[in-house]
Structure formats: C-alpha cells, structure tokens
Structure 1
Amino acid sequence: MKTSLDCIPCLLRQTLEAARLITSDSSTHERLLREALHWAERMDLNQSPPAMAQRIHRRLREMTGVNDPYRETKEWQNRVVMEMLPALQAEVMASGDPLLTATRLAIAGNAIDMGSNGQLTEQDVRQAVQKAQMDPFSGDVERFRGAVSQAETILYLADNAGEIAIDRLLVDQLLPRRIIVVVRGFHVLNDATRVDAERVGLDPVVEVIDNGSDAPGTILSDGSQELRERFSAADLIIAKGQGNYESLSDEPGNIFFLFKVKCRVIADRVGQPMGTQMLLHA
C-alpha cells in the first residue's frame, strides 16, 4: 500500500506524541518534528506508511538514547489484558462458534495501538475488548474457516503488546496445526517483541520468531531471511493490525488481515466505516 497524503499529518502527530512520551525537553520535541517535516517533504510516497514511521522512530531513539520508549506502556498493556484473559477464555468456550468469537476478540485487541492513539488508557483497553461483539464486522468467515481447516502451517504476524495476549485465544483455536508467531525484531511504538510473547505465555505453546526489523509493520525486504522463507512456505498467513495491512496488502500469498479500521485512509480503501472489525482476504 502506498502512502497517502493524508498519512503524513498522522505520522507527524505520532512523532510528537512519541517524543513527549520520552522526554519533557521541548527542544528535543522541536528538533524531531522539524526532521520529520523535512523527511516528509522528500519521502517516497510509493513506500508504505510503516516505512516512514520506521525512520522517525529510529531517529527518536538515536536522539534520546532510549532504546524502548514504550517499555512501561507495554508492561501495563500486557498486565491489563492478562487480567482479562480468564474471562475472555470462558467467553470463547461458552460461545456457539469459538473460532469466530476468538477471531473477533483478537481483532478487538487491535485497538491497543499507540500509533493511532497516543493517549490510550487502561479504561480504553478494557472497553475495546468488552464491546468486541458489538462492533461492526466485515469479512468472509466461512472462507477463513475453510482456510484454517486446510492449513498445516500458519504464520501468525502479531502486532501490539497487550493485543498479543488476546491473540492467545485465537491461537488456541488454530491448534494443533503448526503455528509460528512472528513479532518485531526491535522496539518500535508499542509493537510486540519476543519479551512480550514470553510475558503473555505464548512461547511454550507455539514457535515464536522475530522478523529482524524495527518497522511497525512487515516490510519483507527489510526483514530477515528466515521471515521471508517462513512467509513463502506458510499455507496460511494471519496478519494482525493496520501496519501489517499497509505493508503487506500488495504482497502475494494466502493472507487474511485482521484489524480494526482506525483511520479514514483505510476506511476508504476497504469501503467500511471507522471502527469496523475487518477479516479481509488479500
């Protein structure tokens, strides 16, 4: 997916929110924002939005010396969702359609995104998950169900911390197929890394690898050789979040994108209103 002109103000907002999260030094805020404005002037709009965000967050880490600016944020997000997990597991098991229920809860967890909402609170997280079954939904459930039943190997591209805990519900429904969960290779935004997968207990259940990249999406050319090999070999790819949709929507493969529509650019592209839970086949 190419970068829309409407993506640029969002990237600039994200830049300032991230800078303010790390430091109260207004001169650092100004320096980073000016650099982002300069990059925006020259950026290749044929690249996906995560490619621009990757550059911004690299520079932010360089300027501040803070390797994981969102560490504390990710910790409370993982904690909050792990507290909710037993009740959510019970909801899935009591459902007449556990796969669909787990899928919708996993999509609801995509609201835990500091890229789209830098002011996200614990209450926001709880509300997003609790009203999962009330959100508008768009997707071919039977096609997804058929793809899952036919797959032997599933590559599950995770997105954010907190959200990755809810992903366990869907992973449970995909077992006993071979599942490889992919997390980010380096810290960026509140995206999940190996540490988050360990903290929510995914690593004893499935194989977890990182993608070798610090982009808030999955840019195959920027990822590891292992990622590209696993991507090509998988029978089914489940890609969580708008960042993965933005970076992979033009890639070939049997890909289902699971995300909440969180901006007008994506809403126009998929033809659904803001807040819709998307189960979209590539």
Structure 2
Amino acid sequence: MKIQDECSICLFRQIERFLDGKNPHILQAIESAIKKIDMQDSPPKSAIKIYDILKDSLKCNDPYYEIKQDSMILAKQIAQTINPNNLQEAIKAAVIGNAIDYGSQNQDNIHDAIEKTMSEDFAINHISNFKETLNKAESLLFIADNAGENYFDEILLRFIKQHYSIKITYLVRGKPIINDLVMSDVENHKSLFDICEVKSSGVPSPGFIYDLANEDSKRHFMQDSIIIAKGMGNFECLESTKDKRLFLLFKIKCNVVSGFLNQNLNKLIFLNNY
C-alpha cells in the first residue's frame, strides 16, 4: 500500500504529540524530511527514516520505551480477565489489544472498549478459511505489532496451542520504532515463550517488509503453514502479498485504510489475503 498525503500528515502529528511542544528544531527536521518522502513507499517504510531522525536527535535508541512499559503493565492486567470459550472469541481477544487506547487513564473507557470489541462483529471475517487452514497446519507464524498487544496475542496463541498440534513462531520488530514490540520488550513475558518461539524479524519498520527481514524470518514467511499478521502497519506492508496462508488481523484506525478497504472507521478486520 503506497503512502498517501494523509499518511504523511499522520506521521508528523505522531511525532508532534510525542514531543509535546518540546524540541521544536526536531519537529522542523521531521517536517523537512517528510516533504522528501518517496510516495511509492508504504507508510511503514517511510516511517523508518522519519523515526531515525527522532532517535538521532534525542540521542535515544528507544524514545517510546517508557510508554511501551506502561502499556504492557496495563495490558497484562486487562488480558488476565479474558477467557475465550472458542476460536472466534480468542481471535476477538487478540484484536482487543489492537483496539485499546493504552494512553487512557479512565478504566471505565478501557473496559467499555473491551466489551464493545467482544460484542462487535468483524466487518470482514474469514474465520472459516482460517479454521480450514489451521486444521491442516503444522506451523504458524505470528507477526506481532505494538507493545501491550503481546498479552492479548498470547490468549489467541495459547488457545490454538491447546486445541491444535502446531509449532508457533512469534516475530517482533528488529529494532525500536514507535511503540512496536522488540525482543527486549518481551523478555519478561515468560508465558509467551512457553507456547511459542519468539524471534526478531530484523525488520526496522512498523510493519513487516519482507525485503528488510532477516533470513530466518524470510524462511518462516515462505515455509510456515499459516501466517497471522497483526495491526494496520503489517496490513499496509502485506496487503499486496496475495497468499492463501496469510491472515491480516486489525482494527481500522485511519481514513486511508478505511477508504482502501471500503469499510468504516473502527471496524474489525480478519482478512484472508488472497
């Protein structure tokens, strides 16, 4: 999916919110770099250079570290309250992680978001295809998204592990970018390591770009029986990859993706991308 003007504005506003009125010279450098973005690239690929400027300017390899840690503490507490009774509910539990606003300090808002998501139907739901593929699968590749979502991902992956004989690999980003998961974020999530092999994809972008992945991740992507890619960044990178093994799981959070899929904002998507 190629970047649109609206995506460039979104990139700028993300960093503007993060800086919160501080370091205006960094924002000026970001604005200048955004004007030079290659409009043939995907939004996540464009984000690499922009967030490298932020990291270099702040002399900090992981500017969102504290935000990620806070998100994971909250997500762990919430995820412990969710017990799916079937595969559909387990998939819903995973997408809850993509739907929650971890910045909200209002517990009622968070619990309302959980209840709404669990009761909401998917706008696109290819669970029948997923079950059919899962029944024959020997290996599953899960491409992760943001910090905190790992605890909700575990709910789905644990359900699958309990009901299917399958090897699971869980891929995180290759280096810090925005609030995406990297290996250091999940090293204390011991129960995740109990049910799957956790690896770095090598990818430096907030979405899985095959050409930027390490060789091990490329092998998994080409050979594993089934692939779940979580979050909009992974959708933006993989929507052009037509493969019956590939399932894209996310909530629509922007007008560009909404228009691309011809679906309303905030809708839940579980798309078999072939």
CA contact (8 A) 2:168 2:195 kept: no
Write the letter of the residue equivalent to 1:131: K
Q: Which amino acid aligns with 1:202?
A: L
User: Paired residue for 1:159?
Assistant: 145
Q: Which amino acid aligns with 2:75?
A: V
User: Quick one: distance in 2 between partners of 1:192 and 1:120?
Assistant: 20
Following TM superposition, where does structure 1 have runs of at least 4 consecutive aligned residues deviating by more than 3 angstroms? 119-127
Q: CA–CA distance in 2 between the matches of 1:158 and 1:273? A: 24
Q: C-alpha distance in 2, partners of 1:112/1:189? A: 16
Listed as ranges, the matches of 1:9-24 within 5 Å are 9-20=9-20
Kindly indicate whether residue 74 of structure 2 is the aligned counterpart of residue 70 of structure 1: no
Match of 2:95 among 77, 100, 107: 107
Question: What secondary structure sits across from 1:209 in the alignment?
Answer: strand
**1:197 Cα deviation after fit:** 2.6
Secondary structure of 1:61's counterpart equals helix
In structure 2, the partner of 1:134 is 119
Residues 113-142 of structure 1: CA deviation (Å, up to 9, x unaligned): 78xxxx554645444333222334121221
Which segment drifts farther, 258-267 or 66-75? 66-75
**Residue 213 of structure 1: aligned partner:** 203
Question: 2:81 matched to which residue of 1?
Answer: 87
One-letter code aligned to 1:256: F
C-alpha deviations, 1:226-276, integer Å up to 9, x for none? 111111111111000000000111124321000000001111111211111
> In 2, Cα distance between the equivalents of 1:199 and 1:128?
26
**Which AA in structure 2 matches 1:205?**
I
Equivalent pair of 1:107/1:258 in contact (CA under 8 Å): yes
Residues 113 and 190 of structure 1 are in contact (CA less than 8 Å); yes or no, is this contact kept in structure 2?
Answer: no
Residues 1:99 and 1:146: Cα distance change in structure 2 (over 3 Å): same
Q: Identify the residue that residue 50 of structure 1 maps to in structure 2.
A: 44
Native 8 Å contact 1:80 1:122 kept in 2:
no
Give the secondary-structure state (helix, strand or coil) at the position aligned to 2:208: coil
Matched residues in 2 for 1:172 and 1:120: separation? 27
Between the aligned partners of 2:257 and 2:8, the Cα distance in structure 1 is 14
Paired with 1:211 and 1:122, the residues of 2 have a C-alpha distance of: 34
- Aligned pairs for 1:196-211 (under 5 A) are 196-200=185-189, 201-211=191-201
Structure 1 Cα separation of the partners of residues 179 and 36 of structure 2: 27
* Deviation digits for residues 119-169 of structure 1 (CA, Å, limit 9, x no counterpart): 554645444333222334121221121122121111100101111100011
Q: Deviations over 1:85-113 (max 9, x none)?
A: 33202xx1xx3xx1100101111211257
- Contact map agreement 2:30 2:53 (CA 8 A) in 1: no
- Stretches of structure 2 that go unaligned for 5 or more consecutive residues are none
After superposition, the Cα gap between the structure-2 partners of 1:63 and 1:126, relative to the gap in structure 1 and judged at 3 Å, is farther
Q: Which amino acid aligns with 1:190?
A: N
Conserved? CA contact 1:15–1:32, under 8 Å: no
- Map of 2:183 onto structure 1: 194
Unaligned runs of 5+ in 1: none
Q: Which moved more, 1:218-227 or 1:122-131?
A: 122-131
Residue 146 of structure 2 aligns to a residue whose secondary structure is: coil
Change (3 A) 1:120 1:31: farther
Aligned-residue RMSD, C-alpha: 1.9
Rounded to whole Å, the distance in 1 between the matches of 2:130 and 2:150 is 20
Check conservation: 2:142, 2:169, Cα contact below 8 A: yes
Percent identity among equivalent residues? 30
> Among residues 264, 269, 273, which one is paired with 1:273 in the alignment?
264
| Preserved contact between residue 34 and residue 50 of structure 2 (Cα < 8 Å) | no
Local SS of the residue matching 1:199:
coil
